[in-house]
Structure 1
Amino acid sequence: MKVNWNYIKAFSLLVLVIFLYSFSSARNNQRKLDKIEVQFTNDENLYVTETAVNKLLIQNQDSVKNLAKEVLDLNILEKRLDTHAMIEDADVYLTVNGELGAKITQRKPIARVYGNESYYIDKNGKKMPLSKNYSARVPFIKNIKKEDIAEVYPLLAKIDKDEFLKKHITLIKRNSKGEYVLEMRLYDFEILFGEINSIESKTNNLKAFYKKAMLDHQLDSFKWVSLKYNNQVVCTKK
């Protein structure tokens, strides 16, 4: 019987490849983690520090550094990071170089509630605690309760996305009638926005009024500017 050495060589090569792959995979899993790299998706760690992230990356009362890859549960680490009040989303991963990576997306505040309880409202309309590390430059809100957040949120979202409004509106307050009043950064007249409706129309009217009054050099002469009436701006002079 003639022996087919080509088949034997191919089979031996296959066994060797499988052995080397298994050995390499086992060695890789046993490899110690020697570095943790934290990346913030907005390039700034404003509300949560890298130190705080590293503290959350702890397992069995020991740092994840110098642990073997195979003992890490990345899902658990991600869930641990997601519990932080300033983190919107966390992605934890391993690199082939033995590094543990954490990509952090921080929550974004769009307004700050001022009162007996102070807190931010984030871009998703949720309560967000104040940070000890950084104070966001966002409009203040007064005289609202927790149950009013959903009502005022569409206006806050509009202000955050509109360059003109974001630059000029510094304060939003709710009066006894349930209507909203806005204050501007550079001028002392108040803007009666009314109820949270027709947001696009009202803000466009405000921009048109501002542009016209600025050209006429009259912005300092007004006490009240009302947007609450349909398709018109009603002004009261000092």
Structure 2
Amino acid sequence: MKINWNYIKTFLLIGVVFFLFAFAEKRNHARVLSEVNLHFTNSENLYLTEEAVNKLLIQNEVRPRSIGKETLDLSRVEALLESHDMVENAEVFLTVDGKMGASITQRQPLARVMASAPFYLDRQGLMMPLSQYHSARVPLVTGVKEEQLKELHPLMAFINEDEFLTRHVTGINRQPNGKYELYLRQLDFAVVFGEVKDIELKFKNFKAFYQKALKDKKLDAYKKVDLQFGNQVVCTKK
């Protein structure tokens, strides 16, 4: 009987491939996570640190060096990270070499609200506690209560998106009648903004006034600039 060595070699090769695949699969499932790689998507201002994140994970029994890949609940870790006061969004993933990665988006403050316990207003219009690691350079807001944050948010969001206003507006005060005044960097007059409506029109008018007064070198001549009258800017001289 003639032995067909080609068939035997083929079967042996298939057997070796299956063995290596099964061995690699078993080894991969038995592997424990070696470390956590954190990435902050808006890392220019760190309102929390890698150390704080790792401490949060450890306190909730997420220890990468002792957890197998097959036992890690990524959704739970994401929810845990997003429960932190400084985190807006978290995405957790595993790499093929046994590492857990987390991409963290921090909350972004738009204003610092002065109250008995000061806090930030974030870009989602929610209260955000102050951070022990970094102090945001945002306008200081007075006269606003927690229930008025929804009213304030559109004004702060517009200022935050405008380079000119971000550079110049340093303070905002809400008066008892619900009207707002703005205070500008290195300028000695208050801007009466009024109620939070017609935001784009009011700031368009103010920018036109500012450029004209700057050109005429008259910015120091006024003590109040009122934006409440449609297309007009009403100025009160000193």
TM-score, normalised to structure 1's length? 0.91
Unaligned runs of 5+ in 1: none
User: 2:105 aligned with 1:105, yes or no?
Assistant: yes
Q: CA 1:59/1:147 → structure 2, altered by over 3 Å: closer, same or farther?
A: closer
Q: Which runs of 4+ in 1 moved over 6 A?
A: 2-9
Matches of 1:62 and 1:227 in 2, distance apart?
Answer: 54
Q: Contact 2:32–2:64 at 8 Å: present in 1 too?
A: no
Q: Contact 1:57–1:64 at 8 Å: present in 2 too?
A: no
Matches of 1:106 and 1:60 in 2, distance apart?
Answer: 20
User: 2:67 aligned with 1:67, yes or no?
Assistant: yes
Matches of 2:20 and 2:49 in 1, distance apart?
Answer: 42
Q: CA 1:225/1:45 → structure 2, altered by over 3 Å: closer, same or farther?
A: closer
Q: CA 1:139/1:80 → structure 2, altered by over 3 Å: closer, same or farther?
A: same
How many residue pairs match? The answer is 238
Unaligned runs of 5+ in 2: none
TM-score, normalised to structure 2's length? 0.91
Name the counterpart of 1:218.
Answer: 218
* Structure 1 residue 97, shift from structure 2 partner: 1.6
Which shifted more, 18-27 or 147-156?
18-27
1:115-139 CA-partner distances (Å, limit 9, x unpaired): 2231101111111110011000001
* Structure 1 residue 201, shift from structure 2 partner: 0.5
Matches of 2:109 and 2:11 in 1, distance apart?
Answer: 62
Q: Contact 1:172–1:180 at 8 Å: present in 2 too?
A: yes
Q: Contact 1:91–1:104 at 8 Å: present in 2 too?
A: yes
Q: State how 1:131-142 maps to structure 2 within 5 Å.
A: 131-142=131-142
RMSD: 2.1
Q: State how 1:1-238 maps to structure 2 within 5 Å.
A: 13-14=13-14, 16-44=16-44, 46-58=46-58, 61=61, 63-238=63-238
Q: CA 1:192/1:100 → structure 2, altered by over 3 Å: closer, same or farther?
A: same
Matched residue of 2:32: which SS? coil
Q: CA 1:219/1:229 → structure 2, altered by over 3 Å: closer, same or farther?
A: same
